[in-house]
Amino acid sequence: MNLDDIPAGSLCVLDTNVLLYAEQGVSMQAQRLLRRIEKRDVLGVLPQPVWQEVTHKLMLAEALMQGQIGGGNPARQLAGKPEVVKRLTLYREKIKALFTLGLAFEPCAKADLADKAFYLQERYGLLTNDSVILAIAMRLDADALVSADAQFREIKEIRVYSPSDLKFPSRS
């Protein structure tokens, strides 16, 4: 099911990739979903790992865009440039805008990681952040897990919605 199929009033837990696809203009469905969240047509929740991951990715993207880093292992490069990190501001504004948009912050509880996420890893072979995101969605009894990640297609515990309109720019 695509993102336009999410029923009004649904509690949606969003994965990082959906936010990045909206930001990059790669998915109009992702952009429309964020507008629906802003209008309170659906409720959007970002688990703690998503907030952290999207913040990290936007920080790296800003540093790359400014030419401060490049090539392999951008996180290591940026970690070695604390003065550059201090001057980065765009990613912070984008994160603040997500809060203003109405996206909720759901912290990770100990049981999400130590109990449920480990079980989900054993059952589905999910990586840590994905299993924690799913565990939090299940704890919240969410109506929808919104992600483009293929590994979530096998999940039986919650309905998964994925963008079906991904349009990546061609590389010349």
Q: What is the pLDDT of residue 168?
A: 82
Would you give per-residue pLDDT tens digits along the chain (172 residues)? 999 999 999 999 999 999 999 999 999 999 999 999 999 999 999 999 999 999 999 999 999 999 999 989 999 999 999 999 999 999 999 999 999 999 999 999 999 999 999 999 999 999 999 999 999 999 999 999 999 999 999 999 999 999 999 998 766 5
Phi, psi of 12 (to 5 degrees): -110, 125
Domain 11-161 has CATH 3.40.50.1010: yes
This prediction's pTM: 0.93
Give me the pLDDT at residue 169, please: 75
pLDDT per residue as tens digits for the range 74-121:
999 999 999 999 999 999 999 999 999 999 999 999 999 999 999 999
Q: Please report the pLDDT score of residue 124 as a whole number.
A: 96
The 3-state secondary structure of the chain reads CCHHHCCCCCEEEECHHHHHHHHHCCCHHHHHHHHHHHCCCCEEEEEHHHHHHHHHHHHHHHHHHCCCCCCCCHHHHHHCCHHHHHHCCHHHHHHHHHHHHCCEEECCCHHHHHHHHHHHHHHHCCCHHHHHHHHHHHHCCCCEEECCCHHHHHCCCCCEECCCCCCCCCCC
